[in-house]
């Protein structure tokens, strides 16, 4: 088992635990809608060009699904900024709301 397999899931668990669900209030429906739209747009936006370049349907879907988690680097950079005191937690909450 690699170090990557150990620490990456723990990182996302910790990031998820840092989310204050009470502060979300009534915007969870908005967040869910935005999340679904983002996933579908990445899936469609990556799969269709792959189909145009003569990939098979299953291969195109694999490419599209592979593009979905592309925001994890931004989460990593934001968490480093928060722990180093470069980003205030209130600042990130305002940007999310």
Q: What is the pLDDT of residue 91?
A: 53
- Measure the N-to-C terminal CA separation of the chain; round to a whole number of Å: 38
For residue range 42-90, what is the model confidence (pLDDT) as tens digits? 899 999 999 999 999 999 999 988 888 766 777 777 777 877 888 776 6
For the entire predicted model, the pTM comes to: 0.54
How would residue 95 be classed by pLDDT, with cut points 50, 70 and 90? Answer: low
Q: What is the pLDDT of residue 97?
A: 45
Instruction: Mention every residue, 6+ apart, whose C-beta is less than 8 A from residue 44.
Output: 64
């Amino acid at each position: 088992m690699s170090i990557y397999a150990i620490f990456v899931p723990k990182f996302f668990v910790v990031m998820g635990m840092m989310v204050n669900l009470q502060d979300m209030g009534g915007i969870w429906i908005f967040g869910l809608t935005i999340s679904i739209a983002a996933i579908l747009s990445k899936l469609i936006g990556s799969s269709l060009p792959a189909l145009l370049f003569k990939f098979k349907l299953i291969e195109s879907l694999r490419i599209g699904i592979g593009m979905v988690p592309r925001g994890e680097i931004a989460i990593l950079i934001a968490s480093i900024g928060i722990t180093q005191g470069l980003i205030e937690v209130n600042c990130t909450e305002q940007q999310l709301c």
